[in-house]
Amino acid sequence: MRRKTDFLVIGTGVAGLSYALKVAEHGNVVVVAKSTIDEGSTKYAQGGIAAVMYSPDTYEKHIIDTLVAGDSLCNEKIVRITITESSERVKELVEWGTRFDTNLDGTFKLGKEGGHSENRVLHRKDQTGKEIERALVEQVRTHNNITLLENHFAVDLITQHHLGIEIPPLDDKIECYGAYLMDIKTGKIETVLSKITLLATGGVGNVYESTTNPIIATGDGIAMAYRAGALIENMEFIQFHPTALYSTTEKPAFLITEALRGYGARLKNHKGEYFMKNYDERADLAPRDIVARAIDLEMKNSGKYFVWLDTTVLDKNGLIENFPGIYARCLSVGIDITKEMIPVRPTAHYSCGGIKVDEYSKTNIKNLYASGEVASTGLHGANRLASNSLLEALVFSHRAYIDSLAKFKSIYFKDDIPDWNDEGTVLNEEMILIIQSLKEVQSIMSNYVGIVRSNLRLNRALNRLELINIETEDLFNKSVLNFELCELRNVINVAYLIINMAINRKENRGLHYSIDYVK
Ligand code: FAD
Ligand code: SIN
């Protein structure tokens, strides 16, 4: 099957849907989700969205907090663009129907998280992402110009490579003509030709054993773009959220929002000490890389697999009123957070790097844009400031919209693109090969490429990954595709990028910390 569309949007989180709603006013749009429309990290966002709304907060304060958290690796121009456009983008979200918590006088209630010098996080209790996604999905479902393809898996971007023309990676002559999509229910692969393609495929958390990310977060967009010749950067900066609820079985790991520490909860070790003041003067509200490393060390020193988050000192009614999701989830596993401390540990959470884009979300591949967690805009540098990612997605999807609007009418479809060719492949009935390889990659990444790294561990990881890669490419070339095999291939691609970029960063910076370097 073949389709043609002005705009192809791969991903239905905040980045994809906010872009789709805007371009749909000007052309037809195909929007793709590999699962249901609302399944992605956006729905799980808890703390909220950082934006400058009222004094005493100022753009300048938010800019400085972002630069400090990013450990001198942010692109200051991009930081300024993102933050000065924050209030406008938040207003738009409200116009689309998002309901943030407000005070009695109608002003927004603003929470605080690690690294922020002011209260500036708009939220809907502890379920902000669910509310944002609800509002966007409602708008998208009723838009006449949008065709929604759920349970469709983007396998690869279409470029000159599919016409038999080889152009070296990173070359600015590479063009994107759309994507091959697999209907997960039938296994059939269709060709979607588009004038403009936006990758909004979210994060990479499932490269690790334990992550706050939903299972769809397998780095597909980054892997597809890399294979197509896009520039990928900063993949060594994987953010581990300091406080996921400790569990040996739960997938995804349940997040305990940093806003709870903003509200007064404090980390305690197994000796009963509030230990964060020993690591940083900002104590429990230091930037995430510092808190996650401190917890990691406390866990290693005590030999335990978690530390405690003490919520028992907080007002009981306020706790239940402001954090109903966390209260209910903890209660469901036997913890009453008004009386008992929460066992927490750091867990893979966010990819600061990704597909390199410019200030209009353009990649180095013509007619291909990227926005949201899949993109590397330069905002986060070596460590993302809490609650800056929903904001980044909105700002850069808007900028992609501005740029693509000016172009799409002068772009023509490439009609000679061949359909997907699976001649000579056979049905692979051995799912165990795929499942076991995925577990091996996740184990390698968790044990050798985690919060604390070393050159020895990184090189071990690379050697082990190489064998799994050879086996998987062999399987891929021989098999009729299924999406699990495509995901495994993507996870391997992304793991490879993380390890290589970690090996090449010969210093400690932000989220990349190696015992081999002093700074
Ligand atoms: P997502 O919302 O993850 O959506 C990805 C989309 O891509 C999905 O629709 C998926 O189906 C689709 N997709 C992926 N691969 C394919 C494929 N191969 N084919 C077709 N479709 C595909 N950030 C904040 O700013 N504030 C917070 O409070 C906050 N809390 C968080 C809490 C949790 C538990 C998590 C996991 C993250 C949190 N973050 C927070 C980070 C933030 O939620 C994400 O970075 C952001 O939502 C990503 O949005 P996105 O649109 O880029 O991707
Ligand atoms: C949280 O609520 O702690 C997560 C916020 C974020 O990842 O930005």
User: Where along the chain do the CATH 3.90.700.10 domains lie?
Assistant: 254-347
248-262 pLDDT, tens digit each: 889 999 999 999 999
Task: Report the atom number in ligand 1 closest to the C-alpha of 218.
Answer: 15
Ligand 1 center to 358 CA (angstroms): 20
Ligand 1 near 41 CB (within 6 A): yes
What is the residue with the minimal CA distance to atom 1 of ligand 2?
257
Ligand 2 near 387 CB (within 6 A): yes
Q: Please, which pLDDT band fits residue 426 given cuts at 50, 70 and 90?
A: confident
User: Where along the chain do the CATH 3.50.50.60 domains lie?
Assistant: 2-236+352-410
Looking at 427-454, list the stretches that DSSP marks H as alpha helix, in order from N- to C-terminal side: 431-448
Mean pLDDT of 235-248: 96
Looking at 14-72, list the stretches that DSSP marks H as alpha helix, in order from N- to C-terminal side: 14-23, 41-44, 59-69
Task: Report the atom number in ligand 1 closest to the C-alpha of 483.
Answer: 18
Closest Cα partner for 254 from 156, 342, 367?
342
Most ligand 1 atoms within 8 A of CB, residue of 9, 41, 86, 120 to mutate: 41
Which ligand does the CA of 48 lie closest to?
Answer: 1
Q: Is 288 noted as a catalytic residue in this protein? A: yes
Mean pLDDT of 66-72: 97
**How confident is the model at residue 348, as a pLDDT?**
98
User: Where along the chain do the CATH 1.20.58.100 domains lie?
Assistant: 426-517
Taking a C-beta distance cutoff of 8 angstroms, is the pair 233, 78 a contact?
no
**How confident is the model at residue 430, as a pLDDT?**
80
Distance CA 199, CA 201 (A): 6
**How confident is the model at residue 109, as a pLDDT?**
97
Ligand 2 center to 349 CA (angstroms): 9
Which ligand does the CA of 44 lie closest to?
Answer: 1
Task: Report the atom number in ligand 2 closest to the C-alpha of 47.
Answer: 2
Closest Cα partner for 373 from 355, 348, 400, 347?
355
Q: Please, which pLDDT band fits residue 427 given cuts at 50, 70 and 90?
A: confident
CATH of domain 254-347: 3.90.700.10
Ligand 2 center to 163 CA (angstroms): 43
Mean pLDDT of 45-61: 96
Which residues are CB-contacts of 343 (< 8 A; sequence separation ≥ 6)?
245, 246, 306, 307, 308, 309, 335
What is the residue with the minimal CA distance to atom 6 of ligand 1?
11
Mean pLDDT of 225-239: 98
Ligand 1 center to 202 CA (angstroms): 4
CA 205 distance to own-chain centroid: 8
Which ligand does the CA of 41 lie closest to?
Answer: 1
**How confident is the model at residue 421, as a pLDDT?**
84
Which ligand does the CA of 222 lie closest to?
Answer: 1
Write out the two tokens for 363. Answer: 């990649």
pLDDT above 80 (res 428)? no
Portion of the chain with pLDDT greater than 70, in percent: 100
Distance CA 69, CA 73 (A): 9
Ligand 1 near 49 CB (within 6 A): yes
Taking a C-beta distance cutoff of 8 angstroms, is the pair 196, 10 a contact?
no
**How confident is the model at residue 70, as a pLDDT?**
97
Ligand 1 near 255 CB (within 6 A): yes
Q: CA dist 221 to 373, 391, 437, 494, 496, Å?
A: 10, 20, 20, 10, 15
Distance CA 441, CA 448 (A): 10
Ligand 2 near 386 CB (within 6 A): yes
Q: Please, which pLDDT band fits residue 519 given cuts at 50, 70 and 90?
A: low
Q: How many CA atoms lie within 13 A of 428 on its CB side?
A: 24
- The string of DSSP codes covering 86-113 is HHHHHHHHHHTT----B-TTSPBPEE--
**How confident is the model at residue 174, as a pLDDT?**
98
Ligand 2 center to 258 CA (angstroms): 6
Q: Which helix (H) or strand (E) holds 418?
A: none
Write out the two tokens for 50. Answer: 């950082």
Task: Report the atom number in ligand 2 closest to the C-alpha of 387.
Answer: 8
pLDDT above 70 (res 321)? yes
Closest Cα partner for 17 from 129, 180, 185?
129
Ligand 2 center to 350 CA (angstroms): 9
Which ligand does the CA of 242 lie closest to?
Answer: 2
CATH of domain 426-517: 1.20.58.100
Strands 189-199 and 368-370: parallel
Task: Report the atom number in ligand 2 closest to the C-alpha of 384.
Answer: 8
> Which of 124, 266, 288, 384 is labelled catalytic?
288
**How confident is the model at residue 163, as a pLDDT?**
95
157-192 pLDDT, tens digit each: 999 999 999 999 999 999 999 999 999 999 999 999
Distance CA 212, CA 193 (A): 34
Residue 192 identity (one-letter amino acid): V
Ligand 2 center to 235 CA (angstroms): 19
Q: Please, which pLDDT band fits residue 422 given cuts at 50, 70 and 90?
A: confident
Most ligand 1 atoms within 8 A of CB, residue of 120, 390, 481, 490 to mutate: 390
**How confident is the model at residue 413, as a pLDDT?**
96
Mean pLDDT of 124-151: 98
Most ligand 2 atoms within 8 A of CB, residue of 126, 237, 257 to mutate: 257
380-412 pLDDT, tens digit each: 999 999 999 999 999 999 999 999 999 999 999
Q: Select 2-236+352-410's CATH number: 3.40.50.2300, 3.30.2350.10, 1.20.272.10, 3.50.50.60.
A: 3.50.50.60
What is the residue with the minimal CA distance to atom 2 of ligand 2?
47
Task: Report the atom number in ligand 2 closest to the C-alpha of 243.
Answer: 3
Distance CA 181, CA 415 (A): 17
Ligand 1 center to 238 CA (angstroms): 15
Q: CA dist 244 to 240, 247, 252, 382, 497, Å?
A: 9, 9, 10, 21, 25
**How confident is the model at residue 425, as a pLDDT?**
78
Distance CA 177, CA 193 (A): 6
Write out the two tokens for 279. Answer: 């690591």
Residue 495 identity (one-letter amino acid): A
Q: Please, which pLDDT band fits residue 1 given cuts at 50, 70 and 90?
A: confident
Q: What is the pTM (predicted TM-score) of this model?
A: 0.97
